A and B are shown apart, each in its own frame.
Chain A
Amino acid sequence: MSIVENHPLTLPPRISEAGVGDYIALLKPRVMSLVVFTALVGLLIAPGHVHPVLAITSILCIAVGAGASGALNMWYDADIDALMSRTAKRPVPTGRVTPQEALAFGLILSFFSVTTLGTLVNWVAGGLLAFTIFFYAVIYTMWLKRWTAQNIVIGGAAGALPPVVAWAAATGSLSAEPIFLFLIIFFWTPPHFWALALFRSDDYARAGVPMLPVVAGPDATRLQILLYTVVLVAVAAAPWALGYFDAIYGVSSLLLGGWMLWLAIDVYRRREGKAAVRAARRLFGFSLLYLFALFAILLLEVVVAAVLAQFA
């Protein structure tokens, strides 16, 4: 006879206290807002007329698809998110949402966004959206992010695809203009994220994420930021030089690019102390404004042309 009774250990089932706000946080709303904006520009500069209902459907699906990528990213990266001050308060590391709930949420939204876009709009756009989600969740999050310092360079392709998806939604095909929009965001991503990584490198080092400042050092990162900014300014002006976008866009892209380049030079020159952190923060902040302004000009031109056409 045993004096220890053999009771199986039963823990009470976990009852979720996650609110709607926690699930919205899984969608990375700030990233989503930039995705929606760039996609809107891709949709509106596309030739031909898109019915407003189809336009709203396309943007909604692209936004939900981007949110699904964010949820899948937060599911997979919960361990490193918990170690970084910028991400430690996210719903999964804090335990408000379990990793399984985040995974299910991400997968369900991925399925609905892709099938809805494919069924209601067209399957070129649906396929591209599926590829975007796959690229961000699998290629970037699961593979590149923890493996190489080039993580955000290659992974940046996922963030650059939304205007291409939107163009495909409007036209059912692809052409040079959305490729230019893709290239602008693609070459904008490294200086933007490396500027952030310069003043957050302790965070990334603690989490073991091989961001460029952690692996190659801040000075090598400053040089890379400068080189990528030079390429960015050239790529942003190229559609004007090649006759795809007009002179207002061209001059604006050169002015904005000139200021971005000046800030990148400032980051390259100021390497010590608070001045170096300030320069990196300034470049990070301006890079957001730069991308927004560049796409806003394209949007404004379309709106102005549409208004003038009404009175012509």
Chain B
Amino acid sequence: MDDKEQPPGIVLTEAQKKKRRERSIAIALALGVLVVLFFAVTLVKGPAVLNRPL
């Protein structure tokens, strides 16, 4: 059996964790806006949402 300690792997610094969290929140907000946009347009256009002029 190997008694050697496993290396801790990648440990993020506090600054990296903070930036990652900021980016995650921004992605979540962008996706939220996209969902709201599609929902709002569906309400506005009703069933005609798929009837688009080419």
Q: Which A residues have a C-beta under 8 Å from some C-beta of B?
A: 12-13, 15-20, 23, 51, 53-54, 57, 60, 112, 116, 118-124, 172
Contact = CB atoms under 8 A, between A and B. Distances in A.
B1 interface: no
A243 to B, nearest CB: 28
A130 to B, nearest CB: 14
Interface of B: 10, 12-13, 15-16, 19-20, 22-23, 25-26, 34, 37-38, 40-41, 43-44, 49, 52-54
Nearest to A64: B30
Given A17-B19, A20-B22, A112-B34, A123 B54 contact: yes
A144 to B, nearest CB: 31
A60 B37 contact: yes
Nearest to A17: B19
A13 B10 contact: yes
Contacts of B20: 16
A18 B23 contact: yes
Contacts of B38: 120
A20 to B, nearest CB: 5
Contacts of B26: 20, 23
Nearest to A173: B53
